[in-house]
Amino acid sequence: MRNRKKIVSIALGMSLTFCSVAAANIIISPVPIEETTASQEAGPSVLAQKDQNTDRGPGYSANPVNPVNPANPVEAANPEELVISSEGAVLMDAATGKVLYGKNQDKQFYPASITKIMTALLVLENCRLDETVTFSATATTNLESGSVSLNIVAGDQLTVEQSLYGLLLKSANEIANGLAEHVAGSVDAFAGQMNARALQLGCKNTNFANPGGLNHSAHKTTPYDMALILQAALQNETFRKIDTTLTYQFPATSQAAARTVTMGHKMMYPSDSRYYEGIIGGKTGYTSLAGNTLVTGAERDGVRLIAVVMKSSGTQYTDTIALLDYGFANYSTLAGGSGQVGPAAANPAATGWILEAAGWRYIKADGRVAAGEWQTVQGLNYWFDTNSNMVTGWQQFSDGTWYYFKPAGHMAQSCWILDQGDWFYLGADGKLLQNTTTPDGYQVDERGIWKQ
């Protein structure tokens, strides 16, 4: 199937290479599509229609949107022998997004402070670590009585990096508010960005009302959705670094001297009886409505699992350990079952493209599914999201750069895109050109739209 056209625009006298935007509901096998050469003529008088469910271009987005050996060996267990006391739980294979165990995995619960994983992810995707956060009166006083705080007051300033340590280690709620205002201008606007990002990650039953997880009747999510959120966060190296730091020297502020903040997740401390080797990130939570909540990522021998428990009454650690033990002990069977894509051990011959219900995935030479990474296949560049799905359409990366991926999945390069009546140009490296002149001599504005 061709999705390229050769058009001559006599009126404008333009000679452009362009890529038309195809409807989102057409399934196209990820096979290289014949490219239009730069010498072929095309013009912006061509009208390309785009399905309304497709991601819109950057000019239209109000909120633009990737082994250790066990210290405590585990024994294989059958699913019926796995006893989880928390009301909701899920165990996910972080490489593929496959659910290995679920208990009320799609039921909504109050999340409490595990909410802050999403807050940290959005901050890391939108800010530099050295940016200065100035805390407002609204951020520092809009708190529940008794909620966790670092005694930050209006006018105090911290860097984004310092704030993230206060957010993820101490779980300070005024820091969550301050970061939200820094990114979006207000807590409400940031909550909107949280919900948009959750939808992008595939969350189906999540609604965030604040950045800290304080009690709110509309602030709910599910074990499955929280696993997706942690799956995305664990792709970020800075998140993993901060989120596994046990102690941090927090700077002095106007109302408090410099102090040491410590990690709240007990499974990370070698001296604690709940220690679990291989933890690579996680977050604790508690409110009167949520009960105990806990989200944990662990990796052993190259296998990365995510465990989430919600609405627990003090069993959050024993339940999490039971889930992870079960997952690691039975991984080959669990990950390779039900016709799902698993590691090389489960299906050593499976490499290359595979079409599943969620879309196209790619099995690398080592037998693992590409996730949160680039892959070059037959000279074409593809991006796979943290759910292992091949992406199409517009995508904005954490550094703010926009790319466009064709319906067949590969990155557009050195060509024009016609989207919703506007023209955009993708450079030789695939990046959207903005506020500059294109190689063929046309001006594009700060959104990347051709100035007609």
CB 319 within 8 A of CB 89: yes
Which residue, chain included where needed, has tokens 């997706």?
A: 228
Residue 251 pLDDT level (bands cut at 50, 70, 90): very high
| pLDDT number for residue 353 | 81
The beta strand positions in 63-118, using DSSP E, are 88-93, 99-103
Give the tens place of pLDDT for each residue, 286-318: 999 999 999 999 999 889 999 999 999 999 999
Confidence (pTM): 0.61
| pLDDT number for residue 79 | 55
Give the tens place of pLDDT for each residue, 388-434: 889 989 999 888 899 999 877 889 998 898 888 889 999 999 999 99
Average pLDDT, the chain: 80
CB 73 within 8 A of CB 190: no
CB 444 within 8 A of CB 435: yes
Q: How far apart are CA 426 and CA 402, in angstroms?
A: 9
CB 370 within 8 A of CB 364: yes
Which residue, chain included where needed, has tokens 């903005």?
A: 434
pLDDT above 70 (res 67):
no
Give the tens place of pLDDT for each residue, 101-145: 999 999 999 999 999 999 999 999 999 999 999 999 999 987 877
Token pair of 423, please?
């023209």
Give the tens place of pLDDT for each residue, 323-351: 999 999 998 888 874 323 222 233 333 46
Residue 201 pLDDT level (bands cut at 50, 70, 90): very high
Q: How far apart are CA 233 and CA 213, in angstroms?
A: 17
φ, ψ at 405 (rounded to 5°) = -110, 125
| pLDDT number for residue 81 | 67
Annotated catalytic residues are 113, 116, 171
| pLDDT number for residue 229 | 97
The mean per-residue pLDDT over the stretch 369-378 comes to: 86
pLDDT above 80 (res 227):
yes
For the chain, give the percent of residues with pLDDT over 90: 59
pLDDT above 50 (res 276):
yes
**Top mean-pLDDT range of 4-8, 79-83, 226-230:** 226-230
| pLDDT number for residue 367 | 76
Bigger pLDDT: 170 or 369?
A: 170
pLDDT above 80 (res 213):
yes
Residue 28 pLDDT level (bands cut at 50, 70, 90): very low
The mean per-residue pLDDT over the stretch 426-444 comes to: 92
CB 239 within 8 A of CB 232: no
Q: How far apart are CA 276 and CA 295, in angstroms?
A: 14
pLDDT above 80 (res 177):
yes
| pLDDT number for residue 34 | 28
| pLDDT number for residue 78 | 54
pLDDT above 90 (res 21):
no
| Among candidate residues 407, 451, 290, the one with its CA nearest the CA of residue 28 | 407
The mean per-residue pLDDT over the stretch 215-222 comes to: 95
